[in-house]
Amino acid sequence: MTSPLPFTPDLSVKPEVAAFFDDATNTVSYVVKDPSSKACAVVDSVMDIDYAAGRITYDHADQIIDHIRKNGLAVEWIIETHVHADHLSAAPYIQEKLGGKLGIGDKITVVQDTFGKVFNEGTEFQRDGSQFDRLFRDGDSYTIGSMTAYAMHTPGHTPACMTHVIGDAAFVGDTLFMPDGGSARADFPGGDARELYRSIKRVLALPGETRLFICHDYGPNGRDIKWETTVAEERSHNIHVRDGVSEDEFVSMREARDATLDMPKLIIPSLQVNMRAGHLPPKEEDGKTYLKVPVNGL
Ligand SMILES: [Fe+2]
Q: What domains appear along the chain, each with residue ranges and CATH number?
A: 16-274 (3.60.15.10)
- Ligand 1 center–CA 143 separation, angstroms: 25
- Ligand 1 center–CA 1 separation, angstroms: 32
Distance CA 148, CA 9 (A): 10
Residue 212 main-chain phi, psi, to 5 deg: -110, 130
Q: What is the mean pLDDT of residues 88-97?
A: 98
3-state secondary structure of 279: coil
- Ligand 1 center–CA 85 separation, angstroms: 6
- Ligand 1 center–CA 216 separation, angstroms: 8
DSSP states along 29-97: EEEEE-TTSSEEEEES--BEEETTTTEEE-HHHHHHHHHHHHTT-EEEEEE-SS--SSSB--HHHHHHH
Residue 212 parent element (H or E): strand 211-214
Judged by average pLDDT, the poorest of 3-7, 109-113, 212-216 is 3-7
- Ligand 1 center–CA 291 separation, angstroms: 20
- Measured in residues, the chain has a length of 298
- Ligand 1 center–CA 72 separation, angstroms: 30
- Ligand 1 center–CA 164 separation, angstroms: 15
Mean pLDDT of the chain: 96
- Ligand 1 center–CA 298 separation, angstroms: 16
Share of the chain above pLDDT 90, in %: 97
- Ligand 1 center–CA 154 separation, angstroms: 12
Distance CA 81, CA 159 (A): 11
Distance CA 183, CA 181 (A): 6
- Ligand 1 center–CA 188 separation, angstroms: 9
Q: What confidence score (pLDDT) does residue 6 get?
A: 87
- Ligand 1 center–CA 185 separation, angstroms: 8
| 1 vs 253, more confident | 253
Helix intervals (H) in 119-277: 193-203, 231-237, 247-258, 267-274
Q: Which residue, 133, 134, 107, 111, is CA-closest to 121?
A: 111
Distance CA 122, CA 134 (A): 24
By CB neighbour count within 10 A (0-12 exposed, 13-18 middle, 19+ buried), where does 292 fall? middle
3 pLDDT band, cuts 50/70/90, is low
